[in-house]
Structure 1
Amino acid sequence: MSAVKVGVTGAAGQIGYSILPMICSGQMLGADTKIDLALLDIPQCEDALRGVAMEISDSAFPLLNSLKYGSDPREILRDLDIIIFLGGFPRKAGMERKELLQKNMNIFKEQGTALNEVGKPTTLCLVVANPANTNCLVLAHHAPNIPRKNFTAMTRLDHNRASFQIANRVGALTVDVKNVAIWGNHSSTQYPDVNHGTVRGGAIRPAVNDDEWLNGDFISCVQKRGAAIIAARKLSSAMSAAKAAVDHVRDWYLGTKDGEWVSMAVLSDGSYGIDAGLCYSFPCTCVNREWHIVQGLDINEFSRDKMNLTKQELTEERDEAFSA
């Protein structure tokens, strides 16, 4: 089997430092898949990036077929099979959301333009850098040569967080929890939905037997988990974000398990009343490296209100990002 060409942007950052060993050790694409690794970061981070590359080399990963790194997106992003976009402008104290969106739009406009020139029609792109949904939309907009179905944003971290909260509540393992769903934005408006999920093979709601918790503290805990980690660690999520990105790509590239879905932010096709083209998280299955939105789920009034709230935020983000 030929090596899979994997690119990582923002590779000198803390999520990059966590994800690269996972990629090179086979956790993402399997223990028999060799990796051609391409690392991108901004010129100001080239020294740190070189140090990361030295550590990867020193780790002597058996699956690492080749390694290149640099700050030129037209060189580093050329002809890749998978790109994980970690690099973005972080929100700083006192920064308005519109300013953050504009700074990131400029980054993803530049990278999208480069990707449009040097990418392949089969290149799969995962955006992790926040605001992930809208960054993904901007990236896809500026890379029209690549099919829009090849662009996704990460809500798998929220999906994993929700699964843990349910497992912990009932004394189960996270592998016992199936088919929770994250709807909408990777933000505090996201809606973690358990109405169609199971734990130990039975429906989640009767297993938990506490609708007040499921409709209240559970939702807010998942929505605000990132902020809670920052408050405790004084840094944003890195290890768990890296693990979620690996999970996302593995299921997209290798396929989801029969009867199970995962949460992915994708460019909407109009399903569930979400405006076509909006980058919105849905429950998805994957086969042959393509995602498919799970259809036919019953949406109650409580869920619809939550889904519309996060849709409104994403619509405002999109309009703000493209207003300049």
Structure 2
Amino acid sequence: MKKVLSLAIIFTFVMMVIFAAVPAAAQDTRVGIVLSTGGLGDLSFNDAAYRGLQRAEEELGIEFQYIEPADPSEDETALRRFANRGFDLVIGVGFQMSDTLELVAQDYPNVKFAHVDQDFGEDILDNVVSLNFAEWEGSFLAGALAALVSDTGVVGYVGGVDSSLIQRFEGGFYQGAKYINPDIEVNRRYADSFGDPARGREIALGMIDDGADVIYHAAGGTGSGVFQAAGEEDVYAIGVDSNQNYVEPGHVIASMLKKVDKAVFDIVKAVDEGTYEGGQNLYFTLEDGGIDLTSLTEVGQPVLDAHESGLITDEELETIRTMKEKVTAPHADKIAEIKEGIINGEIKVENWGVTGRPENLE
């Protein structure tokens, strides 16, 4: 009996050693993202952030969940939901969520957070990384293109909510247009919403009535109304954040790219690989490719994808190609020259998000 008991003890000990030597199965990295007002389908930065997670899911094998708050008042509950459940990374999208994310991150110091579109300055928490973009640089290119294309000498800018962030776009566009034509008229209005296409259309139509023939928007889902007005009145528009050139084919001449998808993918990859370092305010610029203007000569893969999926017809694809050839390609070299000037410092672009909007603008 004692021999049998001894053998059982030895067997149990051996099995414990064996199992201790076998590493536990690695769990997939889990990411939770709380999207900004307007949610998915904005064809803008929410969709871009989502694409970044889709890429991470495909290439890295991570798992992710998302929440689309109907109102900013729901942001805190959504962020806490992911933090409470032990997600490896919690992402908040949009400057309107910055204070809330900071508050939640303080309560969960062992959870990693990332935020899109807010520089937290020197007081950024050790478990937060902010992902920011030099929108004023890319918007300068958009303004220069608008001035080069305009026949009326009047262009327009439609912003979402008037704030320091959205003023970065406004300021860059204004300066770019004035760089090309100091006498150009730049109409600027805000919709007070990132999710009101009807309001975007109304503002754009008013600008068109006042002579604007190229209108740039930084208004999220509200911008779809700007595109609609451009199509109705046969003028041009410039998209933002994502490649929106397939919307209203032939009327969206370019888009100012803000590569939120790449920034989101990179931060998820850092968490997945164990290289995440909190307490950083990161910036993506023209120089590193985080900001850019879509090609003025080629239609681009997103447009081809839209055609492949049936969003645009063969005829509409050809319309976009023709527009590129006749309207934007002639200005490609000039825009490339300006881009290089910004990168090497020869052209200085003021960041209105920091300096504020100058008084007594024309």
* TM-score, normalised by the number of residues in structure 1: 0.40
Please report the TM-score for the alignment, with normalisation by the length of structure 2: 0.37
